[in-house]
Amino acid sequence: MRISVGKLGLFWTFFEPFFQAFIFVSVHSFVLKASSYNYPLFMASGIIAFFMFRNILYGAKGAFLANRGLFSYRQVKPIDTIIARVLLESFLTGIVILTFLLYGYYFYYEVEAKNLLMVSLGYLWLILFASGFGLLVAVGNTFFASIGKFVTLLSFGLLVFSAVFYPVASLTPEIQKIILYNPLTHFMEMIHGYYVEGLDDRYVDYGYMAIWTLSLWFAGLWLYLRLEKRIISQ
């Protein structure tokens, strides 16, 4: 498990998003002028969501290989390991969010969401999206190790091209068009738009998000069911 890796595993779980958000906020305040919306809050909600996406993806990616020993017991199906890891990462994200909120309240910082219900929906949907993607990657990674390597590179690019630390509205129309092909951008816009006062979800295409989520799950499950036996006996 992630937490048990070294004595500082738990520390990094909390500190990593905090540190990243801090860097982006400081760069922003040095380089750019003050924005019309609450930028630290914008950063934190985006970075935490992105890290959750990335951690679910990474967790799922290695789930089959790391738990191969457990496939000796016929009760354990490979998909169980993915479910366990998705639950673990979601739970950890929940704790990280709570820590951020408590920290904000303690310093009388304005941390309340504009529409908490929609933000929660955004996070839950992102979990669903990430786990579908993760399942697909996990099955692929079992047979082609280069898929895992590619996903590591991909997630690095996604951090930059998913509107995590800038709103889509701040981009030129040409770039907006390109970046909105990226489904993760929509998730980030949705979470930002409903969290931060002064932003909205005008660029979010919910149908596009649903198609991506369904396609990933469909492809992932289809491949998984076809290859389950081979994954067990690998």
Partner 1 sequence: MIELKNVTKYFHTHEGRKYILKEVSLTLPDLNIGIMGRNGSGKSTLMRMLGKIEFPNRGKIISPNSFSWPLALSGGFVGTMTGKANIKFVCRLYGKSKTETKEILAFVEDFTELNEYFYMPIKTYSAGMKARLGFGLSLAFDFDYLLIDETLSVGDVNFRNKAYNALKKKIENCHVLLVSHHMKMLREICQAGILVNEGELYYYEKIDDAIAHYQSVNKEWGRR
Is 45:192 a contact under the CB 8 Å cutoff?
A: yes
Run of H or E residues at 97: helix 78-106
Min. distance of Cβ 141 from partner 1 in angstroms? 18
Stretch that binds partner 1, among 1-9, 47-55, 56-64, 214-222 (CB under 8 A): 1-9
Give the phi and the psi of residue 199 in degrees, each rounded to 5. -120, 160
Min. distance of Cβ 144 from partner 1 in angstroms? 16
| Residue type, position 208, single letter | Y
Q: Kindly determine how many residues on this chain lie close enough to bind partner 1 according to the rule CB under 8 A.
A: 17
d(CA 138, CA 46): 25
Subset of 4-33 contacting partner 1 (CB under 8 A): 4-5
d(CA 138, CA 91): 20
Tell me, residue by residue from 191 to 220, as one string, x for binding to partner 1 by CB under 8 A and - for no binding.
Answer: ------------------------------
Please give the DSSP secondary-structure letter assigned to residue 38. Answer: -
Min. distance of Cβ 83 from partner 1 in angstroms? 15
Among 36, 146, 172, 233, interactor with partner 1 by CB under 8 A: 233
Tell me, residue by residue from 52 to 81, as one string, x for binding to partner 1 by CB under 8 A and - for no binding.
Answer: --------------xxxxxxxxxxx-----
In the complex with partner 1, the residue whose CB is nearer, 75 or 172, is 75
For the chain, what percentages of helix, strand and coil (3-state, to nearest 5) are there?
A: 75, 0, 25
Min. distance of Cβ 69 from partner 1 in angstroms? 5
In the complex with partner 1, the residue whose CB is nearer, 53 or 224, is 224
47: tokens are 């970075």
Min. distance of Cβ 233 from partner 1 in angstroms? 4
Q: Residues near 196 by Cβ (< 8 Å), separated by ≥ 6?
A: 37, 38, 41, 42, 45, 114
In the complex with partner 1, the residue whose CB is nearer, 69 or 207, is 69
d(CA 147, CA 159): 18
Interface ranges with partner 1 (CB under 8 A): 1, 4-5, 66-76, 229, 232-233
